[in-house]
Structure 1
Amino acid sequence: MPKGFSLPQCRAVITGASSGLGAEFARQLAPVAEALVLVARRAEALEKVKQELSATPARLLCCVADLSTDAGRDEVSAFLAAHGVKPNLLINNAGMGDYGSFASSSVEKTRTQIELNITALTLLTHALLPQLQTPGGILNVSSLASTLPMPDLAVYAASKAYVTSFSEALAIELAPRGITVSCVCPGPTPTNFSQTAKRADDGDTNRDGQALLRIPPSQVVREALGALQAGRACVFPGVGVSIAGRVFRLMPRGIMRWALRRRSGKE
């Protein structure tokens, strides 16, 4: 059984690699990787990340694909075959949120959120497993929100609860095959997430207390990669998030719902 995944000379597929945590994964892996396949919808943004890392020894490839669609997910497998890349690491980072009540949400944005956060992560993992060289690794980006039923972020939090549960199950299933699976559950992190999650009316979410949990993307990625190397199935990066994750997981659900009603002004 794997004790952890070794990063040097890895051949990694990174989704959502055009900005935020995805781009930071590329930055931290590029100095030690053999090859990085950067996957995202925005070709121009991917090229900027590639140019930023052009001085590193890694072979850098940009795969433009919309992972919220079947065609986009199929494109990743076709791209790997066409370029002769045999990956041994998959980083499922692509995802999105939606600030506001479920009742007032856009059907299309809700569908895209589920397709990206759940369906894409699941089906891309399934598609690439036969190609994943061993010893191999899978790193899924979840969220501290996965431990909470979050009003005004309901679908996002529920989708990340799926990611955490799915990852922990795969960590057990795939260990005998020589594949290490880890899941990272960051709290508030300064990326483009909030801008994407805002609605047309520029509505936002309650950010009370978030400053105590906020850490930079570089720390999130560093701790996530450290967990993968150590063979840890789940990591909550940062001291504050680590404590909050333990508290939220142990808190009785009735007390949690009461506290969330108070926080959201529903009581």
Structure 2
Amino acid sequence: MANGFPLENCRAVITGASSGLGAEFARQLAPHADLLVLVARRADALEEVKKGLAGQKTRIFCCAADLATDSGRVAVLEFLDANGLKPNLLVNNAGMGDYGCFASSSTDKTRAQIELNITTLTMLTHAMLPRLEKPAGVLNVSSLAGTLPMPNLAVYGASKAYVTSFSEALTVELAPQSITVSCVCPGPTPTNFSKTARRPDGTDTNREGQELLRIPPSRVVSEALHALRTARSCVYPGTGVSIASRVFRLMPRSLMRMILRRRHAKES
């Protein structure tokens, strides 16, 4: 097994750092890191996260950028260069979902979801790889949703399947370059995800059974960072999520579709 990424004195770029898992990554990395670069759209929210880290030894920079755009991604790279910052860890946490059927989805929101969940993660990683000082780490936030088709959350589930597959491929490709790649696939986690995924008319998703899989952001992040330290390519945090991931991956697709049809019928 390849060596893991050491967190002590790391220099991390964290996307989607204004709330939820991104802010929790900042909190848990702060006691170990030499440098944190917090990236998100809302400058005021980033400053609040920074204030919450007051007293930590780490240097903290806030970079407000819309990562769902080419210009936003370029702005992050320019920010690093302008401040002479040389990271060795990239945490790709930024992402979004959309509750409701695909046919009635907003074109703009669907496009933004694909841009943020897939394009941003891919292209920012590509741009950052030559900038990361070795040994380096890349930690991608995927989802349990990536292990199965997700009616009424179709684009999100598909995008997270991409993130997981992409991450596991990079784990193999980049190991000889002293770059550790890990992927965390949480189940339902209490963050702002549901608020932004809900549609203006209040359309929500079926939450039946989620209580069995729900774990706090602190545990998701701690298990993700442990996976990075120990060079685990993919981790499903929490006992329930870990068991569910195995069941979903081993279940015959015909049986899975039957279960999904019945579940979807209850929502219709």
TM-score, length of structure 2 as denominator length:
0.98
Provide the rounded CA distance (Å) in 1 between the counterparts of 2:250 and 2:185. 16
**SS of corresponding position for 2:84:** coil
Match of 1:121 in 2: 121
Unaligned runs of 5+ in 2: none
Following superposition, the deviation at residue 260 of structure 1 comes to 0.6
Match of 2:3 in 1: 3
> Does the 8 Å contact 1:18/1:38 carry over to 2?
yes
The CA RMSD over aligned residues, in Å, is: 1.0
Provide the rounded CA distance (Å) in 2 between the counterparts of 1:149 and 1:225. 27
Provide the rounded CA distance (Å) in 2 between the counterparts of 1:261 and 1:26. 40
Match of 2:44 in 1: 44
Provide the rounded CA distance (Å) in 2 between the counterparts of 1:247 and 1:179. 31
Match of 1:134 in 2: 134
Following superposition, the deviation at residue 264 of structure 1 comes to 1.1
Whether 2:64 is the aligned partner of 1:64: answer yes
Match of 2:206 in 1: 206
Question: Partner letter of residue 28 of structure 2?
Answer: Q
Question: Partner letter of residue 75 of structure 1?
Answer: A
Provide the rounded CA distance (Å) in 1 between the counterparts of 2:49 and 2:27. 8
Following superposition, the deviation at residue 2 of structure 1 comes to 3.6
> Does the 8 Å contact 1:26/1:36 carry over to 2?
yes
Question: Partner letter of residue 164 of structure 2?
Answer: T
Provide the rounded CA distance (Å) in 1 between the counterparts of 2:93 and 2:15. 5
Following superposition, the deviation at residue 104 of structure 1 comes to 0.2
Provide the rounded CA distance (Å) in 1 between the counterparts of 2:32 and 2:258. 47
Whether 2:165 is the aligned partner of 1:165: answer yes
Match of 2:84 in 1: 84
Following superposition, the deviation at residue 27 of structure 1 comes to 0.1
Provide the rounded CA distance (Å) in 2 between the counterparts of 1:73 and 1:50. 21
Provide the rounded CA distance (Å) in 1 between the counterparts of 2:142 and 2:36. 21
> Aligned residues: percent identity?
73
Q: Which string of whole-angstrom CA distances, capped at 9 and with x for unpartnered residues, describes residues 93-114 of structure 1?
A: 0000000000000000000000
- Answer with 76-85 or 163-172: which moved more: 76-85
> Does the 8 Å contact 1:2/1:135 carry over to 2?
no
TM-score, length of structure 1 as denominator length:
0.99
> Does the 8 Å contact 1:87/1:133 carry over to 2?
yes
Match of 2:262 in 1: 262
Equivalent pairs counted in the alignment come to: 267
Whether 2:236 is the aligned partner of 1:239: answer no
Following superposition, the deviation at residue 24 of structure 1 comes to 0.0
Unaligned runs of 5+ in 1: none
Provide the rounded CA distance (Å) in 1 between the counterparts of 2:45 and 2:242. 32
Q: Which string of whole-angstrom CA distances, capped at 9 and with x for unpartnered residues, describes residues 201-234 of structure 1?
A: 0110000000000000000000000000010000
> Does the 8 Å contact 1:189/1:216 carry over to 2?
yes
> Does the 8 Å contact 1:2/1:179 carry over to 2?
no
Provide the rounded CA distance (Å) in 2 between the counterparts of 1:193 and 1:173. 31
Following superposition, the deviation at residue 84 of structure 1 comes to 1.0
Match of 1:217 in 2: 217
Question: Partner letter of residue 9 of structure 2?
Answer: Q
Q: Which string of whole-angstrom CA distances, capped at 9 and with x for unpartnered residues, describes residues 146-197 of structure 1?
A: 0010000000000000000000000000000000000000000000000000
Provide the rounded CA distance (Å) in 1 between the counterparts of 2:2 and 2:138. 12
